Every structure is written in C-alpha cells, then in structure tokens.
Structure 1
Amino acid sequence: MYRVLAAILLSAATAFANDLPNKKYLDLPHIKIMVSAAEAKAKELNVSVTICIVDESGNLLFLEKGETASLNTIQFAQRKARHAAFYGRPSKDGADTIKKGNTEAMAFPEFFPNQGGLPIKIDGKILGGISASGSKSEIDEAIAQSGLDALLKQ
C-alpha cells in the first residue's frame, strides 16, 4: 500500500514539476563566448577596457580589467551592465534621458547615464547585461555589442 501511495505522490510531483516554467540563464560557456568576442573587438580597436557581465538582477558574473584600463573603469563597467540589465535598455538611453533634462532619473535604482552597457535578451527575456568601459563611449558599446552578437549567433 505504501508503495502505491509513494508511486502516486511521485507521479503527481513529477507532473507538477513539468508544469514549472523553464528559466534561461547565463552559464559559464556562454559567458566565455561573449568575453572572447568582446576581448577580440577591443584588441582589434587597440583599446584596453574593463569588461563586465551581470545577471538579470545585477549580480556580477564576470569582470575583467584591461591591463592598462584605469581603475575607475571597474565601477563604471559594473554600473553600465547593471543599468542595462535592470532597465532592459542600453545604458546610452540613460545618458539620453539626462540630456533631455530628466535629472530626476538619477535617483532611480541602478540608473547610470553612460554609454557602453547593453541588455542581454534571449527570446524577449532579459538574462543580464554586458558592458565595456575604458575607451570612448561609442567604442565601449561596440565592444559590448561584439560580445552580445557572438552569444546570439549560438
């Protein structure tokens, strides 16, 4: 009798588990793909930058400071990536918001008005953010875009 009850409970638990949504996330192999492409782009452009990847909650998954990148790029890269992950928009949008006079946006959590961070979206879901910091803002974003493009080709 106990075996029958256990089999029924196991069957019900399995059916329930199958109904749970599957969540995509950034794993180490995919992070390495993005980082490799971003590093290659930085090398191609002959710049030293800090590269950062965060998850959708802004938790740090990867951080690498370029050999000659300044120390402040460590914080800038993290803030750009967190902005992109939190808002699902490029950090350039934050800069544009301030240029339009919306200075109250500076009080928003994880808001950072500096170009170079991009959201990582797969199937319309935000998985995190990728950024670069240490060069001109447009170049930082191009480096982050290279990492994102490499992931999306997978």
Structure 2
Amino acid sequence: MTGGPLELAEKRARAELGRVERRSLGTVSADAAAEFARAAGETSPRLVDPAHPAFTVHPMYLVSLLRGAPGADPEEYRPDGMYRDEVPGTDGLDVRLMAGGQDVRFLGKARPGERIEVRRVLESVERKGKGAGFLLLTVVKTYASERGPLIEVTERFIVR
C-alpha cells in the first residue's frame, strides 16, 4: 500500500469489518409513507391514502430512509452530496463513490406508528481491477421494528 486515499480507505474499511452499527430511524409516519408512494408514481389508494381502510406502507419506503426526522445536519454530508458515513472507511477522503448494486429481501411489512431501527454491518472489502483498481465494499442493513426484521438490504459500493 502506498498510502494514497484508496489505500487509506481500504485500511479503514478493513478495520470496520464485522462491526455492528445501529441507528434509530424514528417512527413510521403514514403521511410520509404516502408521500413517498406518490413520489414513486404509485396511484393505488392503499399506498397513497393513509385514510384508506387497506392502507399499507410502500415496501421500499424503509429502504429509502437513511436518517430519522428531521434528517442530517449540513456537516454530515460529503462534498458529493452523500452522507459522510454512508460508505465505510471513506469519510474525509478524496475518493469517488459509486453504487455497485443492491439486493433487497422483504421479511415483513412496516406499519404506521412503528419505531424503526437499522442495523448495519460491513461484510466484505475486496480489491478489484488492474493497477490501483478499486474497492468493492459489501454492507448489509437490516431494518427492524419491535416485531423483528422487516427488510434486509445488501448494498455494494465501488470506491475509486
């Protein structure tokens, strides 16, 4: 390792492997979930009208939550607009970040009024490509309520 930003990101990320982080995302708001569904182009009253007797939270709503209300403070953002802590090991480094894919597994449905917590674990750090190459980081997030896990998301991030 030469000590450049990519090497430092790799060293930092490897130090975080397996470490569990937890964050409260607050309480599921029926109004916010309906707003999300409308923004996603949904028109079914069961997704966009909290007063509908069969109202249900859009399945992707929880996955869209990265912070609880009221959101992040300005110092929590990177210059590229991502959260400083979104990609393990990269905070403050001059590296380029890209989404590398996402797998979502639905385990249950969120309900309005439930408190949601996300559990995040960095599962792998891989060096890929030729020359300096890039890093491929795999992060697993589990969104849960007091009833148990609701969604498991495996995300991959490319760090160059």
Q: Note whether the superposition's TM-score is higher than 0.5.
A: no
Give the helix-richer structure, 1 or 2.
1
- TM-score by length of structure 1 reads 0.26
Larger strand proportion of the pair? 2
Over alpha carbons, which structure has the higher Rg? 1
